């Protein structure tokens, strides 16, 4: 198992009120698979993903990613874990506005041991001709492509995408999903993606439905649909 | 207005920036108030003293006594008083110049104690008394007569108590004393001199002085020495000091104020940008433009008012102490401190005016957008300026690229950092330059190799023992420049006492006409030039050919062989007026003379160094504080603006060290450049000061240089402030959490 989560719990305390966000999550994903997490707002999707990505910590339970017990790592080890193994794609792209497209990608390759070539990843997301543009001169979809290029330049083991198409229109969303699928094929990257859009689940190997901090359904798709054929 | 409830919260949220701004305003108002009130009081005290105690317009000596003074007075429309003086050596290194008390010109002003009331009373200069531990009531024996110190006094013609006019610094062991005319007469010795004060206040004293000399000449009275008050270094240095104080009191506070203006403009622009969405919403809710303007103007005005009040009030307190301190060098009565209300108001209003105007323009510029544009918000944040766009950085390594982009991102922030570091550097190096100058003065005595300098009252012909050399000197002016005088000095050919070198350091023979560099510069003379010079005493014009130029800055001198000197200036053959000597000379009783030792001169310089040292300490402290404020504010601005990137970097797995290096170290180059820019600016600033010294006292300083060690020390100090600011900001970087980037989109 590449990802193996069992009985993961997480709660937030605000004053006297304790808010149990994750109530004993269990979840598995094989290497090279695409997983999709579905669920209503506030159900704990991002919290779960942040713990997986080493940004946050669970209170109890086991989180194993490629043999590493993420929940037991100290701060420095967590930093190394994020640095080496994890790629992030955010809903709002989070590009650095005063760096060019190429430089935004270098932010990550700068600290990677064996990064891919910047031009190669830009070509992979079809953005090679915009290398010297600044983010504000790009459309949302283009910015998300850059964000994707930035995530894969370090050739991560696990690519975490929190609503990568949340801010994009239908066609742009589809092109991003297509790219994700291509990355998955080309580099064998395991991808876990959060979405509100149930239709997207069709392209995943596994689908997890989350409600109020519990996995209410975990389905395995024997046949995955290519992104360009997904419609909603 | 409800909006105003926010003010306190906003101020607290960005404490560093607002406290930094207030501190800069406080500094600016403090220095302005202190320096300008100090300069004003110093000038006023000097004027009151010079007018109230009838300072002479000129002093002179004649070859014979003047018969009918009263008749001469009415003919010249002047008050003339004859005074008597001699130097009395109280003990080794302690000399009193004793004067008979004048009644009409150069009146002694009582600083402490009582007036002379009868015979046996003596008044001392307070500085001499303090340095040599005399108190009122003490007894003092002068030539077997006993005197009682009844008070301390200041003489209007000895404000800066130089022993001889060639000296630059007063000697601690030299002072003036005044006794009654009767007591003086009883000594049956001393020289007579005249002090003249012209009655016609409408006419230029110098012009009256020339007329007066003509008058004396027409009566067959020969003047052997003449000094206009404007040329009297014991007095005109006061004017120079006032000039310098006025210059500093304007320059330093203005620089700091400008710094504060740039800082506040930056802070306000950022505040509005950050809040543009709220502002747009407020507009949409029906708030008026005026109300929003007023709200945002509160910030700069509040800072200006708080800083202005605190700084101005703080600046008032040390004025009296500063004036008192000054009066230990310049002997004048301290009648009281008056605060000039106009300068107080200027000190208070200037920051309000500066910050108010700059604030208004910034706010107007930022709020010109429509509510819709404002609500869309954050446009400014992702704007890319011209420099960022044209820069081709591809070849550089990522960290270098990142740092350059970081600095160029906000040009006003960059300007503030550069300017701030340059100002701090200037303050720092200014102090160090002064110290360097003094250090050099202490060691740069290579020109003179004698120990004592004798000055005889009458021409002398006797031959001198081995180890002594005769010389003569008179003051001259150039035809072109009637203000700055210089000495023409006749010395022994192949003198062992005066060693001169040329530009290459090779020794120059004194068997020719050699001029020193300062005067060559002043008169723009080259080797082989011929120059017409005017003898100050009588206005006769002589022409002199320059054989060589000596690379020395000890003073303005034209050296020539004594024989040629006597011949050219119609002095008796074989005569001389002064002597250099390595030993104390045995001079017959009946010849009056004065003697200065070179060691005394050095002691004076060292004495003068002590307060300079503390001033340098003060300047360095101010420089350190300003440097820290500026660098800290900029660094915290950088952290503030980069919260998102810092958060992102943390997510991407950057280590603390790497983030600190990218974000905090991005200013290093700018700080270094600011320091480098500060160096020539320091010299330019000092150049202005030196020029004003030259213009008012005719004092030429050697080309000022800062010794390399001081440049390094200055650099270390500036880098220390940088490291300190980085240390303070490191915590800020650490507190940025990863969730910040997760929650917000940057574009
Ligand atoms: N730092 C925090 N402190 C307190 N409560 C938090 C914190 N982060 C998340 N929560 C709470 O945890 C719950 C789950 O949040 P989470 O962001 O995981 O939801 P989500 O499923 O990603 O929702 P969305 O689809 O809206 O992004 C929410 O109720 C939220 O209020
Ligand atoms: Mg979420």
The residue from B338, B361, B383 where one domain ends is B383
3-class secondary structure, B204:
coil
| Cβ atoms of residues A89 and A159 within 8 Å | yes
Q: Are residues B747 and B606 in the same domain?
A: yes
Q: Does residue B330 share a domain with residue B261?
A: yes
Q: How far is A34 from chain B (nearest CA, A)?
A: 21
Percent of the residues in chain B that have a pLDDT greater than 70, as a whole number: 92
pLDDT tier at A44 (50, 70, 90 boundaries)?
very high
**Kind and range of the H or E element at A38?**
strand A34-38
Q: Which residues of A touch B (CB under 8 A)?
A: 46, 50, 53, 55-56, 76, 79-84, 86, 88, 90-99, 102-103, 106-111, 134-136, 143, 162, 167
Element at B596 (helix H, strand E): strand B593-597
Instruction: Using the structure block, give the residue that is written with the tokens 């975490």.
Output: A160
| Whether residue B78 sits in one domain with residue B9 | no
Residue B203 reports pLDDT greater than 70 = yes
Of B255, B252, B259, B254, which Cα lies nearest the Cα of B22?
B259
Statement: residue B228 has pLDDT above 80:
yes
Interface of B with A (CB under 8 A): 381-384, 388-389, 393-394, 398-399, 401-402, 405-406, 409, 644-645, 648-655, 658, 738-739, 741-742, 744-747
Q: Which helix (H) or strand (E) holds A207?
A: strand A206-211
pLDDT of residue A161: 95
Q: List Cα–Cα distances, B367 to B269, B290, B364, B412, in angstroms.
A: 10, 11, 5, 18
Residue-wise pLDDT for B405-417, tens only, equals 999 988 888 988 9
pLDDT greater than 50 at residue B24: yes
Tell me, in angstroms, the distance from the centre of ligand 2 to residue A196's CA.
Answer: 10
Interatomic CA distance for residues B226 and B244, integer angstroms: 28
Residue where a domain terminates, one of B340, B364, B383 = B383
Q: Do B744 and A162 touch (CB under 8 A)?
A: no
Q: In this predicted structure, what is the pLDDT of residue B1? A: 59
Instruction: Identify whether B180 is part of a domain.
Output: yes
Tell me what pLDDT residue B747 has: 39
Query: Are residues B198 and B154 part of one domain?
Result: yes
Contacts of A206 (CB under 8 A, 6+ apart): A28, A29, A33, A34, A35, A36, A218, A219, A220, A221
B389 Ramachandran zone, left/alpha/beta (phi>0; psi -120 to 50): alpha
Average pLDDT, chain B: 85
**Ligand 2 center–CA A205 separation, angstroms:** 21
Q: Which of B221, B253, B283 is the last residue of a domain?
A: B221
Q: Is B232 domain-assigned?
A: no
pLDDT, tens digit, 9 for 90 and up, residues A207-224:
999 999 999 999 999 988
Q: Got the DSSP string for A143-161?
A: HHHHHHHHHHTT--SEEEE
Are the C-beta atoms of residues B600 and B445 closer than 8 Å to each other? no
Residues of B in contact with A90 (CB under 8 A): 741-742, 745
What residue spans of B317-397 are helical by DSSP H? 318-326, 341-366, 371-376, 379-382, 386-390
What pLDDT score was predicted for residue A203? 93
- Phi, psi of B145, deg, nearest 5: -105, 140
Q: Are residues B404 and B418 in the same domain?
A: yes
Most confident of B206-210, B453-457, B593-597, B721-725: B721-725
* Angle B371-B377-B382 from CA coordinates, rounded to 5°: 140
Structure tokens at B164: 């001889």
Kindly indicate the confidence band of residue B262, based on its pLDDT and cuts at 50, 70 and 90: confident
Comparing A71-75, B15-19, B302-306, B381-385, the range with the smallest average pLDDT is B381-385
Residue B143, in any domain of the structure: yes
Task: Select from B381, B405, B745 the Cβ nearest to the Cβ of A94.
Answer: B745
Confidence grade of residue A107 (pLDDT, cut at 50, 70, 90):
very high
Least confident span in B453-467, B474-488, B612-626: B612-626
Residue B230 lies in a domain: no
Please check the confidence at residue B381 and state whether its pLDDT lies above 70: no
Whether residue B429 sits in one domain with residue B372: no
In this predicted structure, what is the pLDDT of residue B329? 83
Closest ligand 1 atom, residue A45 Cα: 21
Q: Is B574 left (phi over 0), alpha (psi -120 to 50) or beta?
A: left
B68, B138: one domain: yes
- pLDDT above 80: residue B699: no
> Rounded to the nearest whole angstrom, what is the distance from the C-alpha of residue B174 to the centroid of ligand 2?
86
- Nearest residue to B565 via CA among B510, B521, B620: B510
Measured in whole angstroms, the distance separating CA B176 from the mean position of its chain's CA atoms is 27
At residue B94 the predicted structure's pLDDT band, cuts being 50, 70 and 90, is: confident
B638 plus B569 within the same structural domain: no
B610's CB contacts (< 8 A; 6+ apart) are none
**Which residue of B653, B654, B658 is the best one to mutate when testing the A interface, meaning the one whose CB has the most A CBs within 10 A?**
B653
pLDDT in tens, B564-588: 999 999 889 999 999 999 888 888 8
Residue B373 pLDDT more than 80?
A: no
Tokens standing for residue A15:
């004053």
The Å distance, Cα A46 to ligand 1 centre, comes to 7
Instruction: Please indicate whether, in this complex, the C-beta atoms of B653 and A98 are within 8 angstroms of each other.
Output: no
Counting Cα atoms < 13 Å in the Cβ hemisphere of B587 gives 20
> B58 lies in a domain?
no
Strand A190-194 to A158-162 pairing: parallel
Q: Using an 8 Å Cβ cutoff, are A206 and A221 in contact?
A: yes
The CA A36 to ligand 1 mean position distance, Å, reads 18
> Do B214 and B106 share a structural domain?
yes
In this prediction, residue B516 carries a pLDDT of 87
Name the pLDDT band for B746 (thresholds 50, 70, 90).
very low
Give the residues surrounding ligand 1 with Cβ less than 6 Å away. A 12, 14, 19, 21, 39, 41-47
pLDDT-based confidence at residue B715 (cuts at 50, 70, 90): very high
Lowest mean pLDDT among A121-135, A186-200, B57-71, B648-662: B57-71
Residues of A in contact with B399 (CB under 8 A): 110
- For residue B276, what pLDDT is reported? 81
The verdict on B136 and B280 lying in the same domain is no
pLDDT given at position B48: 95
Q: Are A105 and A149 in contact (CB under 8 A)?
A: yes
Non-local CB neighbours of B620 within 8 Å, separated by 6+ positions:
B427, B428, B431, B717
- Nearest of A44, A43, A33 to residue A4 by alpha carbon: A33
pLDDT of residue B542: 92
Q: Quick one: B69 and B216 in the same domain?
A: yes
| Mean pLDDT calculated for residue range A92-104 | 91
Query: Domain limits at B153?
Result: 64-221
> How many angstroms is it from A162 CA to the middle of ligand 2?
7
> Residue B704's pLDDT band (boundaries 50, 70, 90)?
low
- Check if the beta carbon of residue A35 is closer than 8 Å to that of residue A206: yes
Is B648 within 8 Å of A99 when comparing Cβ atoms? no
CB atoms within 10 A of CB A77: 13
Instruction: Say what the pLDDT of residue B380 is.
Output: 52
Cβ neighbours of residue A138 under 8 Å, at least 6 residues apart?
A: A101, A130, A146
For residue A166, what is the nearest residue in chain B, using CA coordinates? Answer: B745
- A69-82 residue pLDDT tens: 999 999 999 999 99
Separation of CA B368 from chain center:
46
User: CA-CA distance, B63 to B216, in Å (whole number)?
Assistant: 11
Q: What is the number of the ligand 1 atom nearest to the C-alpha of A210?
A: 21
Residues with beta carbon < 5 A to ion ligand 2?
A 46
Q: Which of B388, B648, B654 sits opposite A98 (nearest CB)?
A: B388
Nearest Cα residue in chain B from A139 = B747
Give the residue, B678 or B233, on which the prediction is more confident.
B678
Chain A hits for B645, CB-CB cut-off 8 Å, are: 96
Question: Is B295 within the bounds of a domain?
Answer: yes
Q: Does the beta-carbon distance from B405 to A111 stay under 8 Å?
A: no
Q: How many structural domains is chain B composed of?
A: 4
Contact assessment for residue B206 and residue B228, using Cβ atoms and an 8 Å cutoff = yes
Q: Is the pLDDT of residue B617 over 80?
A: no
CB contact under 8 A, B747 and A110: no
Q: What pLDDT, on the 0 to 100 scale, is given for residue B440?
A: 66
Which residue in chain B has the smallest CA separation from A81?
B653
In a domain, B227, yes or no: no
Q: What does the angle CA A175 – CA A177 – CA A178 come to, to the nearest 5 degrees? A: 60
Residue B655 lies in a domain: yes
User: Is B311's pLDDT higher than 60?
Assistant: yes
Contact B401 A103 (CB under 8 A): yes
Does residue B170 sit in the same domain as residue B77? yes
In angstroms, the CA B578 to CA B278 distance is 84
Is the pLDDT assigned to residue A18 strictly greater than 80? yes
Checking if the pLDDT of B246 tops 70, the result is: yes
pLDDT tens profile B327-351: 888 899 999 999 999 999 999 999 9
| Cα–Cα distance measured from residue B471 to residue B490, given in angstroms and rounded to the nearest whole number | 5
Cβ contact, residue pair B384, A98, below 8 Å: yes
Q: Check residues B372 and B202 and name the one with the higher pLDDT.
A: B202
Contact B330, B45 (CB under 8 A): no
CA–CA separation, A141 and B522 (whole Å): 73
Which residues lie across from A162 on neighbouring strands?
A194
Q: Could you tell me the pLDDT band of residue B307, with boundaries at 50, 70 and 90? A: very high
Question: Pick from B726, B711, B731: which is nearest to B627 by CA?
Answer: B726
């Amino acid at each position: 198992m590449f990802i193996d989560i069992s009985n993961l719990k997480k709660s937030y305390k605000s004053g006297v009120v304790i808010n149990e966000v994750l109530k004993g999550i269990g979840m598995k994903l094989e290497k090279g698979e695409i997983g999709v997490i579905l669920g209503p707002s506030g159900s704990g999707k991002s919290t779960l993903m942040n713990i997986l990505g080493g940004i946050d910590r669970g209170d109890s339970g086991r989180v194993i990613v490629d043999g590493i017990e993420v929940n037991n790592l100290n701060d420095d080890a967590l930093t190394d874990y994020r640095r080496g193994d994890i790629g992030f794609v955010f809903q709002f792209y989070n590009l650095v506005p005063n760096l060019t497209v190429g430089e935004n990608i270098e932010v990550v390759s700068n600290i990677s041991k064996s990064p891919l070539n910047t031009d190669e990843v830009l070509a992979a997301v079809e953005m090679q001709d915009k290398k010297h543009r600044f983010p504000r001169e790009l459309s949302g979809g283009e910015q998300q492509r850059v964000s994707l290029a930035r995530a894969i330049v370090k050739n991560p083991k696990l690519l975490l995408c929190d609503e990568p198409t949340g801010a994009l229109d239908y066609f742009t969303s589809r092109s991003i999903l297509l790219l994700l699928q291509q990355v998955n094929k080309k580099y064998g990257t395991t991808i876990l993606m959060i979405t509100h859009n149930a239709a997207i689940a069709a392209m995943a190997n596994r689908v997890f439905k989350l409600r109020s901090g519990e996995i209410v359904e975990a389905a395995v798709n024997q046949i995955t649909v290519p992104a360009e054929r997904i419609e909603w | 207005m409800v909006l105003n409830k926010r003010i306190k919260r906003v101020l607290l949220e960005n404490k560093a920036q607002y406290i930094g701004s207030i501190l800069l305003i406080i500094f600016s108002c403090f220095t302005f108030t202190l320096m300008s009130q100090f300069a004003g009081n110093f000038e006023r005290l000097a004027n009151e003293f010079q007018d109230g105690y009838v300072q002479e317009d000129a002093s002179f000596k004649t070859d014979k006594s003047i018969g009918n003074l009263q008749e001469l007075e009415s003919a010249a429309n002047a008050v003339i008083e004859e005074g008597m003086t001699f130097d009395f050596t109280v003990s080794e290194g302690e000399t009193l110049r004793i004067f008979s008390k004048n009644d009409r010109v150069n009146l002694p002003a009582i600083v402490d104690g009582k007036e002379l009331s009868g015979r046996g009373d003596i008044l001392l200069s307070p500085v001499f008394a303090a340095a040599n531990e005399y108190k009122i009531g003490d007894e003092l024996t002068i030539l077997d007569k006993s005197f009682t110190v009844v008070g301390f006094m200041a003489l209007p013609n000895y404000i800066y108590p130089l022993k001889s006019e060639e000296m630059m610094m007063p000697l601690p062991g030299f002072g003036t004393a005044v006794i009654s005319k009767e007591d003086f007469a009883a000594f049956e010795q001393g020289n007579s001199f005249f002090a003249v004060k012209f009655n016609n206040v409408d006419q230029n004293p110098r012009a009256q002085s020339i007329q007066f000399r003509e008058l004396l000449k027409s009566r067959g009275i020969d003047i052997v020495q003449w000094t206009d008050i404007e040329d009297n270094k014991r007095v005109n240095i006061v004017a120079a000091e006032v000039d310098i104080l006025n210059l500093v009191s304007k320059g330093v506070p203005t620089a700091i104020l400008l710094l504060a203006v740039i800082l506040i403009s930056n802070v306000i622009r950022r505040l509005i940008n950050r809040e543009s969405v709220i502002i747009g919403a407020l507009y949409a809710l029906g708030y008026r433009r005026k109300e929003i303007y007023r709200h945002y103007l509160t910030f700069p005005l509040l800072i200006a008012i708080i800083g202005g009040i605190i700084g101005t009030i703080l600046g008032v307190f040390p004025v009296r102490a500063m004036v008192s301190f000054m009066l230990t060098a310049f002997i004048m009565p301290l009648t009281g401190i008056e605060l000039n209300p106009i300068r107080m108001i200027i000190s208070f209003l200037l920051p309000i005016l500066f910050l108010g105007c700059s604030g208004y323009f910034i706010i107007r510029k930022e709020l010109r957008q429509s509510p819709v544009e404002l609500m869309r918000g954050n446009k400014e944040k992702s704007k890319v300026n011209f420099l960022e766009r044209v820069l081709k950085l591809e070849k550089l390594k990522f960290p270098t690229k990142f740092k350059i982009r970081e600095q160029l991102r906000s040009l006003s922030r960059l300007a503030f950092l550069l300017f701030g570091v340059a100002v701090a550097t200037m303050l720092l190096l200014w102090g160090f330059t002064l110290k360097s100058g003094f250090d050099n003065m202490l060691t740069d005595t290579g020109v003179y190799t004698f120990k004592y300098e004798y000055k005889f009252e009458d021409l002398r012909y006797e031959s001198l023992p081995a180890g002594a050399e005769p010389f003569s000197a008179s003051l001259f002016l150039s035809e072109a420049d009637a203000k700055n005088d210089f000495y023409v000095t006749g010395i022994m050919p192949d003198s062992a006492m005066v060693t001169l070198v040329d530009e290459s350091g090779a020794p120059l023979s004194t068997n020719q006409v050699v001029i020193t560099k300062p005067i060559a510069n002043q008169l723009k003379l080259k080797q082989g030039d011929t120059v017409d010079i005017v003898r100050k005493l009588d206005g006769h014009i002589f022409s002199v050919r320059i054989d060589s130029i000596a690379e020395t800055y000890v003073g303005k001198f034209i050296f020539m062989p004594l024989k040629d000197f006597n011949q050219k200036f119609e002095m008796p053959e074989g005569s001389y007026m002064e002597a250099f000597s390595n030993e104390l000379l045995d001079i017959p009783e009946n010849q009056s003379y004065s003697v200065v030792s070179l060691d005394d001169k050095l002691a004076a310089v060292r004495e003068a160094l002590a307060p300079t040292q503390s001033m340098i300490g003060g300047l360095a402290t101010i420089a350190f504080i300003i440097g820290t404020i500026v660098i800290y504010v900029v660094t915290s601005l950088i952290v503030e603006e980069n919260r998102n990137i810092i958060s992102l970097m943390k997510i991407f797995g950057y280590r603390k060290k790497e983030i600190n290096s990218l974000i905090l170290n991005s200013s290093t180059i700018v700080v270094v450049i600011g320091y480098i820019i500060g160096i020539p600016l320091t010299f330019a600033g000092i150049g202005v000061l030196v020029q004003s010294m030259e213009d008012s006292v005719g004092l030429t300083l050697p080309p000022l240089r800062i010794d390399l060690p001081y440049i390094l020390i200055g650099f270390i100090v500036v880098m220390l402030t940088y490291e300190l600011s980085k240390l303070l900001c490191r915590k800020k970087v650490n507190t940025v959490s990863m969730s910040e980037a997760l929650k917000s989109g940057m574009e």
